[in-house]
Structure 1
Amino acid sequence: MTLALFLIDDLPSGPFTLDGPEGRHAAAVRRLRVGEELLVSDGRGAVAHCVVAAAGRDSLDLTITRRWDEPPPSPRVIIAQALAKGDRGELAVELATEAGADEIIPWRAACSITKWDDGPRGDKALTKWRATVREAAKQARRAWIPIVTEPMSTRALVDKAREVALTLVLEAGRSTRMAEVELPESGDVLLIVGPEGGITEDEINAFEQARSRAVRLGPAVLRTSTAAAVALGAIGVRTARWR
């Protein structure tokens, strides 16, 4: 059975106490006891294999038996996920995180039904995405927690597309298949996923002027909540990310 992973801000080099929300979850919910094993990570590549030395009501005293650093995946994959209605946006970032996204950009697309404002409601939605990503990273036993940036406009995303090694705009109905595109072995790959209403021609034209390519994943039309995860799987098997 795969060991549970817990996240802390800084990973020590010697024995330490796992407390706070993670310690409470490990001791009271997972009910880990003396002698049981677990993984602890700082979410920035450092991982430790630990054994429980003592268990309290809401904390665990841990001994580190092995510690290592996992290199970041290459190429890095950035997901620009259009804001989606209901819980589809959260589902999209959850699946993308489990599939290996390294960075997630909330995109204010023209056809997005949901609109995040710059006030408390927008902050609350962004906080929810970040919490979803953190929990999904733990579920997937990932040593690297994806970054969730501030929301971007189309203009800002076009500027981002100019900075990366490759940008792919996922759009059903395009003649070019993603499988036909040569993928870089290093650098950043930006995947742009549209909302339920699709990506407008003006948006696609703007991205293409920034050296982006509009592609389709396959014959099926995917929901905005699943497209990124499927694309990440395709990139994973075609590059060194999953080797």
Structure 2
Amino acid sequence: MQLFYTPDIDPANAHYFLNEEESKHCIRVLRLEKGNEVQLIDGKGGFFTALIQDAHPKRTILQIISTITAFNKRNHYLHIAMAPTKNIERMEWFLEKATEIGIDEITPIICQRSERKEVKTDRLNKIITAAIKQSVKAYHPVLNEPVSYKQFITKSFDGQKFIAHCENTEKTNLKAELTTSRRYLILIGPEGDFTPDEINDALHNNFKAITLGDSRLRTETAALEVCFEVNFLNR
């Protein structure tokens, strides 16, 4: 399967023109020719099958022959808000793997103990795009710009809200609290964990405290564990 990300595709049109970058990849790298079949995803649930009409390395013309809407749409919505890791490659790894498993939205949150205060979302979005193509996902996860923790937790959210932390206080687990086929927002803290004040602020804003087990996990590992567990419980 030769898959291309085409966020600007119009399902009402019978033809689509690949941009120069994708055209070059299609013709020069993959060496596809006129009449070859390709698949397209728009990042909004659309999955298209098309035939190459004009194999031009700068502007390949495709004929759309079939369309599927809401392709492999999941029965839940997962939003993970996590402190960006000091080593950005660890966050890149998380985004790649979480996209492959299934995630809808990610927000970098700047906490009191955050060692990284800035995030370049352009590069991270490219990693997400590559991951949806590799895993054949028709939905492109939303990556928000970084926001302060205090500002973020006061925003309204229509669904279940959780905060995962390592403090020795009362906590439950996702299996006991999670209602399937819902919307979920889960907070993951920095390498030094959330501060007690941040945890209390979350609880006062209707987040429930959860544990991810006895092991002390890295930020990106904890976030991926949450991603896997939510998807597993919704199967």
Instruction: State TM-score, norm by structure 1.
Output: 0.84
2: CA distance, partners of 1:226 / 1:29: 35
Instruction: Could you tell me which runs of 5 or more consecutive residues in structure 2 were left unpaired when the two chains were aligned.
Output: none
Distance 2:114 2:33 in 1: 47
The separation in 2 between residues aligned to 1:83 and 1:238, in whole angstroms, is 26
Following superposition, the deviation at residue 172 of structure 1 comes to 4.1
Do the aligned partners of residues 171 and 128 (structure 1) sit closer, same or farther apart at CA in structure 2, a change above 3 Å counting? same
Residue 95 of structure 1 corresponds to which residue in structure 2?
Answer: 97
> SS in structure 1 opposite 2:111?
coil
Question: CA shift at 1:109, angstroms?
Answer: 1.3
Distance 1:224 1:185, change over 3 A: same
1:82·1:193 contact (CA, 8 Å) conserved in 2? yes
What does 1:1-243 correspond to in 2, within 5 Å?
Answer: 2-12=1-11, 13-70=13-70, 72-86=73-87, 87-116=89-118, 125-160=120-155, 162-172=156-166, 175-186=171-182, 188-239=183-234, 242=235
Partner amino acid for 1:112? S
With 167-176 and 14-23 compared, the bigger mean Cα shift is at 167-176
For residue 192 of structure 2, what is the amino acid of its counterpart? G
Normalising by structure 2, what TM-score? Answer: 0.87
Structure 1's 164 and 110: CA in aligned 2 closer, same or farther, altered over 3 A?
farther
Show CA shifts across 1:36-87 (max 9, x none). 3221122111220122233223443322221011165332111102121122
Displacement after TM superposition at 1:207 (Å): 0.6
Offset at 1:184?
4.3
SS in 1 for 2:86: coil
3-state SS of the aligned residue for 1:53? strand
2: CA distance, partners of 1:16 / 1:182:
42
Q: Please provide the CA RMSD for this pair.
A: 2.2
**Is this contact kept in 2: 1:77–1:101, CA < 8 A?**
yes
In structure 2, the residue corresponding to 1:23 is in which secondary structure?
helix
Corresponding residue number in structure 2 for 1:119: none
Q: CA contact under 8 A between 1:5 and 1:141: conserved in structure 2?
A: no
Structure 1 unaligned blocks of 5 or more? 117-121
CA distance in 1, matches of 2:33, 2:230: 40
Give % identity: 27
User: Aligned letter for 1:26?
Assistant: C
Separation in 2, partners of 1:7, 1:137: 12
